[in-house]
Amino acid sequence: MYIDTSILNNVAIVLVRPKFPENIGAAARSAMNMGLSRLILVSDREPDKEAMAKMATHKALHIIEGMEIHKNLEDALAPFAYIIGTTARRGRQRGSERSPRQLMGELADFLPNNQAALMFGPEDSGLSNDELKYCQAVSAIPTAGFSSLNLAQAVAIHCYELYHCLIHDQKDLEPVTRCATSFELEGMFQHVEEALVEINFLEEKNHSYWMNNIRKFLGRMQLTSKESNIIRGICRQFMRYQEHYEDR
């Protein structure tokens, strides 16, 4: 029976600084099993192709061959409007985690009109708080006490839950409108930060704390491109007014 998995083309697996090329290949194989074919690597070096290919097997070799490699995380995430970061670590700064199963139904509604990314950190440390700031949601896999999973296992679980939600359960989508991409949001956040510095809202001591909270607040609003541009325009006007006021 033919199963249309084309909607999964809007989802990418993003691996941030993985330590072992074998894990990249195994992650590609896991993605292929569940109908995903876009793999993005964030690394300052190109991994050993033979080691990746061996674990990917010939069925997923095309994913390795077509893999995007970026040195900068912000550039890698630029096209995506919805980004899920994965973590096994807990902490107040890391946001509220939900399980992959809880998140996939929400993610599915973005896919008809937006690109989405599932982001995984290095095997030994996971994603940092600074990397998770780009995410609209944080996923944590429930485990029975011992939370350490192999990178490829974590990729497989998230891909399975997405595939199960979209294809197996044939979820009725309630598509959201096209949202601002990460590139557009980062430009907006830069203007917001500059404006808040100008009016002395962001104190040097708590600058990062407040800016992270503002990012989370605005990130949850699912802003469109037009809305993010409006906020940028307001911030620019704030700064022009501040300059005019100081010149008086």
Q: What is the CATH number of the domain that holds 20?
A: 3.40.1280.10
Distance, CA of 164 to CA of 169 (rounded, Å)? 6
- Residues 57 and 129 both lie in one domain: yes
- Residues 164 and 190 both lie in one domain: no
Q: Which residues contact 226 (CB under 8 A, 6 or more apart)?
A: none
Average pLDDT of the residues in 138-149: 82
User: 88 burial class (0-12, 13-18, 19+ CB within 10 angstroms)?
Assistant: middle
Distance, CA of 97 to CA of 95 (rounded, Å)? 6
Average pLDDT of the residues in 26-39: 96
Average pLDDT of the residues in 194-200: 87
Residue 132 pLDDT > 90, yes or no?
A: yes
Q: Which residues contact 135 (CB under 8 A, 6 or more apart)?
A: 83, 84, 85, 95, 119, 219
User: 81 burial class (0-12, 13-18, 19+ CB within 10 angstroms)?
Assistant: buried
- Residues 52 and 118 both lie in one domain: yes
pLDDT category of residue 2 using cuts at 50, 70 and 90: very low
- Residues 144 and 98 both lie in one domain: yes
- Residues 145 and 96 both lie in one domain: yes
Average pLDDT of the residues in 119-129: 92
Residue 49 to residues 21, 64, 92, 116, 238, Cα–Cα distance (Å):
8, 8, 39, 26, 51
Q: How many domains does the chain have?
A: 2
Domain extent, residue 212, equals: 182-247
Question: Is 175 within the bounds of a domain?
Answer: no
The pTM assigned to this predicted structure is: 0.89
- Residues 146 and 191 both lie in one domain: no
**158-197: burial string, b at 16+ Cβ within 10 Å, e else:** bbbbbbebbbeeeeeeeebeebbbbebbbebbebbbebbb
Q: What CATH number does the domain containing 187 carry?
A: 1.10.8.590
| pLDDT tens digits for range 59-103 | 999 999 999 999 999 999 999 999 999 987 655 554 567 999 999
Residue 204 pLDDT > 80, yes or no?
A: no
| pLDDT tens digits for range 157-173 | 999 999 998 877 677 77
> Pairing state of beta strands 97-98 and 11-16?
unpaired
Question: Is 195 within the bounds of a domain?
Answer: yes
The residue written with tokens 């999964």 in the block is 8
Question: Is 191 within the bounds of a domain?
Answer: yes
- Residues 229 and 145 both lie in one domain: no
Question: Is 163 within the bounds of a domain?
Answer: yes
Question: Is 177 within the bounds of a domain?
Answer: no
> Pairing state of beta strands 68-70 and 38-42?
parallel
Retrieve residue 222's tokens. Answer: 């699912």
